[in-house]
Amino acid sequence: MKEDQICLICGRELGSKNISKHHLIPKSRGGRDGETIMIHNICHQKIHSVFTEKELSENYNTVDKLRASEEISKFIRWVFKKDPSFYQRNRRSRRR
């Protein structure tokens, strides 16, 4: 399986639905033309429910840093057992 067919956050096959583009540096923090990765919507929502835009731009601006965070690694262990097309909304954090 080619790397571009794998979600770089959870490691599951991307499939063809419920996927989105994540800017490693948020657009609101100058990342509009920066590096992006294709990931599952559920992984994308989890990232944005856990971290503020400032935290993402300053501390979690690489795949390795995101995956190493305690809350995301716990999420990965949970979601890895799900079908690649699995989707449910994450609770939104009140932190911004």
Q: Which helix (H) or strand (E) holds 44?
A: helix 41-50
pLDDT at 92: 57
Domains of the chain, residue spans: 21-79
The backbone region for 30, taken as left when phi is positive above 0, alpha when psi lies in -120 to 50, beta otherwise, is left
Residues of the chain falling short of pLDDT 70: 1-4, 89-96
**Angle, helices 70-79/41-50, rounded to nearest 10 degrees:** 150
pLDDT at 75: 95
Counted residue by residue, the chain has a size of 96
pLDDT at 1: 45
